Structure 1
């Protein structure tokens, strides 16, 4: 997940920061009861900000420092750090939910990013990814992640097709 320059980051935040796809994915995640949430590629922090008072610990990572600045301003209650999705620097088995909203196409290594999501999720946690179908022409193969998710250790238990959102619930135990 390569970093953007300040101009690219601001343009993305202005254009897509509050895109409806963000809130559709948040709704599909069904976050409740103080669940701890990690957002991969948190961008301007809009998704985590929308979870104030609902989620417990909220952590956002993004490889672009200016995006992290925007996220901190939008959601002072969150923890934010500059990091790629492939190596978040987060502790293992720490999150109930990992979100990936409009971000999968930006991963440098999709399998590594899903592997990292698997590592940081608690047993029974869920990975919720989606939003990329806002422009299917932008992707080589829209929302076909089953092989990479399986290679990362996820058990294919649910795919929610509404707006192309994947909800991976449950995990294999660490070996």
Structure 2
């Protein structure tokens, strides 16, 4: 009887989503969610010689440029305090990551973040920034892997029901598809 009720709920939810077996989120929706819900606060990383302040600003998303991969581009402001060469710069970084659905949290997270590129403005600071790149990458990796980049809306009945039965996600060009079937 319990399985019948679950099957009925899934069927109703799928019908409510337009007779589909998946729910899709576009790049634009994902970027909007990140801008609205993911907090950007300045983080400080200190070593015996350097004190680095990193703030994360504009984030953009590209979906499906590689199979089941999401590209995350971010602009960071970096301020390095040290006795010899203090500096401020903007750093543009691109990561590739594998999105996954955490059923317990009913949210989309990133894992396996890999740095694709890193450029600074002004460009003359690229060499100087190479010394703090590990701290910057560690901060951005932690930031992007520890927060959901999308959560199904529990206030919308159909998404709340579907969130409970999502089996996984698939990345296609321009979309992340939440799949409700095996």
Q: Which has a greater percent of strand?
A: 2
Q: Please say which structure displays the higher CA radius of gyration.
A: 2
Q: TM-score w.r.t. structure 2 length?
A: 0.27
- Indicate the structure whose relative CO is greater, using CA pairs within 8 Å and at least 6 residues apart: 2
